[in-house]
A and B are shown apart, each in its own frame.
Chain A
Amino acid sequence: MTKTINLTLKVWRQKGPEHKGHLETYRADHISTDMSFLEMIDIVNDNLTLDGDDPIAFDHDCREGICGMCGTVVNGRAHGPEKETTLCQLHMRHFSDGDTIVIEPWRSRAFKIIKDLVVDRSALDKIIAAGGYISVNTGGAPDGNSILIPQDIAELAMDAAACIGCGACVASCPNASAMLFIGAKISQLALLPQGKPEAAGRALSMVREMDRLGFGNCTNEKECEAECPKEISITNIARMNREYFKAGYFFSKK
């Protein structure tokens, strides 16, 4: 049955990267528990707009948990309290009447705040540009079935490839490390036969780029795995480390 709840929000407001930010308090009343978290913010924003105030800026697009565009820290947790859920897929039935909800942006040295809850995640693209691909040009690929891939390997690669690049791993890590993100890509490609020829160079250059961009290191806190909306496993970081050390050895031999 549809139920409604009343909430108090404390939302991070910051006009721009050079401005100082602060938490601002808002009321969100008569919120249907069937609504999604972002629909709740839509309502708050409608009211702000009609009252002549500036609505809260937040990123979102697919609202289906797949584009990786949305994401804020809700009550101290990336994407909020539900496991395996992006913010857009979080529903208000997980909150109770009278709750206070604190909403803040991702925080990391590598993610500058653009406005309010919107951050600049272009560092993640730069890491992919540093080697998160297989170097094949269009045309001339062999028949898809000429490369046999055992089902379990394909499944493992798919588990890693499910990463949506939202940045929750970085936001939840005490060191603001991007290792889960990078580990997922390195694993996906290292597991597949197509990705093996470049595995060594890929691991080295992606990790180097990560360091350059100011992401922290992994100290095995496992917060990233706990908060990842796609349940990317931390074993991907172990696989990345293996690839990285193997690569270092291989390259130093040359």
Chain B
Amino acid sequence: MHLDSKIPGGPLPDKWDRHRFELKLVNPANKKKFEIIVVGTGLAGGSASASLAELGYNVKTFCIQDSPRRAHSIAAQGGINAAKNYTNEGDSIQRLFYDTIKGGDFRAREANVYRLAQISNHIIDQCVAQGVPFARDYGGLLANRSFGGAQVSRTFYARGQTGQQLLLGAYSALMRQVAAGMVKMFPRREMLDLVIINGKARGIVVRNLITGEIETHKGDAVVLSTGGYGNVFFLSTNAMGTNVSAAFRAYKKGALFANPCYTQIHPTCIPVHGKHQSKLTLMSESLRNDGRVWVPKNPGDKRLPHQIPESERDYYLENKYPSFGNLVPRDVASRNAKEQCDNGKGVGKTGLAVYLDFEDAIKRDGKDLIAKKYGNLFHMYDKITADNPYETPMMIYPAVHYTMGGLWVDYNLMSTIDGLFVMGEANFSDHGANRLGASALMQGLADGYFVIPYTIGGYLAGTTLEGVNESHSAFTESTQHVREGIEKLISINGKRTVDDFHKQLGLIMWDHCGMARNDQGLEKARRLIQELREEFWENVRVPGSNVEFNQSLERAGRVADFLEFSELMVMDALVRRESCGGHFNEAFQTSENEAKRDDENFSHVSAWDYKGKDADPVMRKEQLVFEHVELSQRSYK
């Protein structure tokens, strides 16, 4: 299979314009004849549903939560990037493009990233028009801050609740279309299969989470925007319901899964407190703008932070990376924290934490200003840990946060299955091996507001779609398959809970496929996953029945998929014989312990092709071509 990314010709800055011109248009009168299925209502799915409906398409939108407003995007704190250059610091589309490509460790497609940077400015305008209450300067202009690894202030924010406000903007646009009758909203539905007819995505099978009923829905195209797979690690900053199931089941139907091993571990999270912990809380990395990261110089120093004199503290990020200091990209900050803790310099009860200290910032700017900037974050920290960060340094540790891998898509955001589009965190497209802060919100909204409305039109206008209905055998077979899977889960009636398996899988992944990886650990992880998966199917206990509201059953299905998907991650990590961004194999590092890429041999996307239950998947390559940036060793010194 040849992976054709369909990147338009012409100079980089003109590609998107040219492409939009070349894409066929659907006649306005014909749009209402098409039915589009959108799965997911995060920034990507919410914005796409609204925008497609505004154009006149009939949209059916699905989500797991009781309301589309509760998608995981709601939790994003820090902000959204755009190349507005409102601060006059020399930002530009070219610079945002370059930073994003470089931040991704040169493992993303130039054309996609450039388009993202171009669109970024429209997103801000759109959101302002919707009434998103972005922070403002005294004069009433939009405020900006610098964020995670950027040397210019290009991040727009709404207190520490940017994701919430952007999502509520998309949600209100969506609800407006629900009221207009253009979107039919199906909350508390979980997609469990993709239906393909004559090689094209033509519908989905979902479980009604209230009644347990298995429903079928047809459409002329299916758009997945089902988020990332960080919860494969059990503990992560993602919402509890975040899952890989929709994407993974599409993979099993022929959509290639790209770069599954690229996972982002966020450096500033509240450390783990105990074995019953259910999730990890992110402390926005905007805190690194003013907080200073340090550990005691001497391993095993158990004194309280204020008892450790300045001369015995190691501000390791500032020392090691003088020009970026505490603002180095996430992967770099995380790995360094791990390294310090591995060397016995970790702090707190478990030794798995480093300090993030605001003492100097408070001295410099005053408590009021710091409270204004970070008050809600300090408050949240205090609530969770019962420690007051105004008085004692925060303790932080890295946690799984974001997944750069996802279903492979071309420039049109179409997967390897015709008519199946994938947006937001669920696709692999724009962040390469590492995502920069404040760029996921940008990508989700770019995909949903400004890319898919055009590219889906191009597809629909250029394809002949025969009429299908839900009595087609493909729907019946799919439904049967889904039913059997569910019945099997319920019938096992073993001795371990679903969460118990999930936690064990999480530990395997964290230990062997987390911040630092090596071949031996990865091989071991693969074995352990296979064993655990076998045990799961013999010994899991799913209480209740399938014809009722059954949260254990929901989780069981997701964990079953994670138990297969995790192995794919490990396989992907094993064949990438280099380190890059979120994938760090200890065998490939520079003398300064930085990720060492192998551009000659690994400047490609690894896209995995499912070959059935009893065979290994086959890896296909999309070669990345860099014409506008020079590949360099990332250096943040």
Which residues of A pack against B, CB within 8 Å? 2, 15-16, 32, 34-36, 38-39, 42-43, 46, 48-50, 52-55, 57, 59-69, 85, 89, 91, 93, 114-115, 118, 120-122, 124-125, 128-130, 132-139, 141-145, 147-151, 154, 157-158, 161-162, 164-165, 188-189, 192, 194-195
B133→A154 contact, CB < 8 A: yes
In the complex formed, the residue of A with least CB distance to B156 is A144
A residues near B615, Cβ cutoff 8 Å:
none
Give the shortest distance, in Å, between B256 (CB) and chain A (any CB): 29
Q: Residue B1 at the A interface, CB < 8 A?
A: no
B69→A68 contact, CB < 8 A: yes
In the complex formed, the residue of A with least CB distance to B71 is A67
Give the shortest distance, in Å, between A124 (CB) and chain B (any CB): 7
B residues near A192, Cβ cutoff 8 Å:
131, 133
B69→A138 contact, CB < 8 A: no
B residues near A138, Cβ cutoff 8 Å:
47, 50-51, 54, 126, 173, 449-450, 453
B136→A55 contact, CB < 8 A: no
A67→B74 contact, CB < 8 A: yes
B274→A34 contact, CB < 8 A: yes
- Compute how far the CA of A57 lies from the CA of B549 in the bound complex, rounded to whole angstroms: 8
B173→A67 contact, CB < 8 A: no
Indicate which residue in B50, B66, B278, B282 contacts A122 across the interface (CB closer than 8 Å). Answer: B66
In the complex formed, the residue of B with least CB distance to A67 is B70
- Compute how far the CA of A27 lies from the CA of B175 in the bound complex, rounded to whole angstroms: 43
Give the shortest distance, in Å, between B578 (CB) and chain A (any CB): 35
Indicate which residue in B68, B74, B159 contacts A62 across the interface (CB closer than 8 Å). Answer: B74
Q: Residue B273 at the A interface, CB < 8 A?
A: yes
B residues near A147, Cβ cutoff 8 Å:
128
Q: Residue B495 at the A interface, CB < 8 A?
A: yes
- Compute how far the CA of A236 lies from the CA of B159 in the bound complex, rounded to whole angstroms: 19
A121→B179 contact, CB < 8 A: no
Indicate which residue in A34, A62, A121, A134 contacts B131 across the interface (CB closer than 8 Å). Answer: A134
Of residues 195 through 240 on chain B, the ones whose CB sits less than 8 Å from some CB of chain A are 210, 239-240
- Compute how far the CA of A188 lies from the CA of B168 in the bound complex, rounded to whole angstroms: 12
Give the shortest distance, in Å, between A52 (CB) and chain B (any CB): 7
Give the shortest distance, in Å, between A251 (CB) and chain B (any CB): 19
Give the shortest distance, in Å, between A197 (CB) and chain B (any CB): 11
Give the shortest distance, in Å, between A28 (CB) and chain B (any CB): 12
A residues near B384, Cβ cutoff 8 Å:
89, 91
Give the shortest distance, in Å, between B579 (CB) and chain A (any CB): 31
In the complex formed, the residue of A with least CB distance to B549 is A115
Give the shortest distance, in Å, between A205 (CB) and chain B (any CB): 9
1/0 contact trace for B258-291 toward A, CB 8 Å? 0000000000000001101111011000000000
Indicate which residue in B65, B142, B168, B210 contacts A161 across the interface (CB closer than 8 Å). Answer: B168
Q: Residue B501 at the A interface, CB < 8 A?
A: no
Interface centre among A67, A69, A138 (most CB of B within 10 A): A138
Give the shortest distance, in Å, between A21 (CB) and chain B (any CB): 14
B72→A134 contact, CB < 8 A: no
Q: Residue B86 at the A interface, CB < 8 A?
A: yes
A144→B125 contact, CB < 8 A: yes
Give the shortest distance, in Å, between B106 (CB) and chain A (any CB): 31
B residues near A114, Cβ cutoff 8 Å:
210, 549
26 A-B residue pairings within 8 Å (CB atoms): A2-B274, A15-B548, A39-B277, A52-B543, A61-B70, A61-B240, A62-B240, A63-B240, A63-B278, A64-B279, A67-B239, A68-B67, A69-B65, A89-B383, A114-B549, A124-B67, A133-B130, A135-B176, A138-B449, A144-B125, A148-B141, A150-B140, A151-B140, A158-B135, A189-B131, A194-B131
Indicate which residue in A43, A55, A61, A136 contacts B65 across the interface (CB closer than 8 Å). Answer: A61
B residues near A48, Cβ cutoff 8 Å:
543
Indicate which residue in B67, B140, B165, B380 contacts A149 across the interface (CB closer than 8 Å). Answer: B140
Give the shortest distance, in Å, between A79 (CB) and chain B (any CB): 13
A64→B75 contact, CB < 8 A: yes
1/0 contact trace for B103-135 toward A, CB 8 Å? 000000000000000000010111111110111
Q: Residue B189 at the A interface, CB < 8 A?
A: no
Which residues of B pack against A, CB within 8 Å? 47, 50-51, 54, 65-70, 72, 74-75, 84, 86, 122, 124-131, 133-142, 158-159, 161, 164-165, 168, 171-173, 175-176, 178-179, 185, 187, 210, 239-241, 273-274, 276-279, 281-282, 380, 383-384, 386, 449-450, 453, 495, 497, 499-500, 541, 543-544, 548-549, 551-552
Indicate which residue in B51, B127, B158 contacts A158 across the interface (CB closer than 8 Å). Answer: B158
A residues near B544, Cβ cutoff 8 Å:
54
In the complex formed, the residue of A with least CB distance to B453 is A138
Q: A89-B384, A124-B67, A144-B128 are in contact. Are A35 and B175 (CB under 8 A)?
A: no
Q: How many A-B residue pairs have CB under 8 A?
A: 217
Q: A63-B278, A158-B159 are in contact. Are A194 and B552 (CB under 8 A)?
A: no
A residues near B65, Cβ cutoff 8 Å:
61, 67, 69
- Compute how far the CA of A39 lies from the CA of B281 in the bound complex, rounded to whole angstroms: 14
B residues near A124, Cβ cutoff 8 Å:
67
In the complex formed, the residue of A with least CB distance to B385 is A34
B residues near A36, Cβ cutoff 8 Å:
278
Indicate which residue in B125, B134, B178 contacts A141 across the interface (CB closer than 8 Å). Answer: B125
- Compute how far the CA of A46 lies from the CA of B551 in the bound complex, rounded to whole angstroms: 12
A53→B383 contact, CB < 8 A: no
- Compute how far the CA of A15 lies from the CA of B497 in the bound complex, rounded to whole angstroms: 21
Indicate which residue in A15, A134, A158 contacts B129 across the interface (CB closer than 8 Å). Answer: A134
- Compute how far the CA of A36 lies from the CA of B384 in the bound complex, rounded to whole angstroms: 8
In the complex formed, the residue of A with least CB distance to B544 is A54
Report, nearest first, the 4 A-B pairs whose CB atoms are least far apart.
Answer: A148-B140, A133-B172, A141-B129, A141-B125
A residues near B172, Cβ cutoff 8 Å:
128, 132-134
B276→A32 contact, CB < 8 A: yes
In the complex formed, the residue of B with least CB distance to A163 is B168
B residues near A128, Cβ cutoff 8 Å:
69, 171-172, 175
- Compute how far the CA of A76 lies from the CA of B16 in the bound complex, rounded to whole angstroms: 57
B158→A60 contact, CB < 8 A: no
Give the shortest distance, in Å, between A11 (CB) and chain B (any CB): 15
B residues near A63, Cβ cutoff 8 Å:
239-240, 278-279, 281
Beyond the given A32-B273, A121-B66, A141-B129, please list 17 additional residue pairs across the A-B interface where CB-CB is below 8 A: A49-B541, A55-B543, A63-B239, A64-B380, A67-B65, A114-B549, A125-B67, A128-B69, A130-B179, A134-B172, A139-B126, A143-B125, A144-B124, A154-B140, A158-B165, A165-B69, A189-B131
In the complex formed, the residue of B with least CB distance to A193 is B131
- Compute how far the CA of A129 lies from the CA of B239 in the bound complex, rounded to whole angstroms: 25
In the complex formed, the residue of B with least CB distance to A154 is B136
A residues near B552, Cβ cutoff 8 Å:
49, 55
B residues near A149, Cβ cutoff 8 Å:
136, 140
Interface centre among A16, A64, A91, A192 (most CB of B within 10 A): A64
- Compute how far the CA of A148 lies from the CA of B86 in the bound complex, rounded to whole angstroms: 14
- Compute how far the CA of A164 lies from the CA of B165 in the bound complex, rounded to whole angstroms: 10
Give the shortest distance, in Å, between A89 (CB) and chain B (any CB): 6
A residues near B134, Cβ cutoff 8 Å:
144, 154
- Compute how far the CA of A192 lies from the CA of B128 in the bound complex, rounded to whole angstroms: 10
- Compute how far the CA of A146 lies from the CA of B134 in the bound complex, rounded to whole angstroms: 14
B175→A133 contact, CB < 8 A: yes
A residues near B168, Cβ cutoff 8 Å:
161
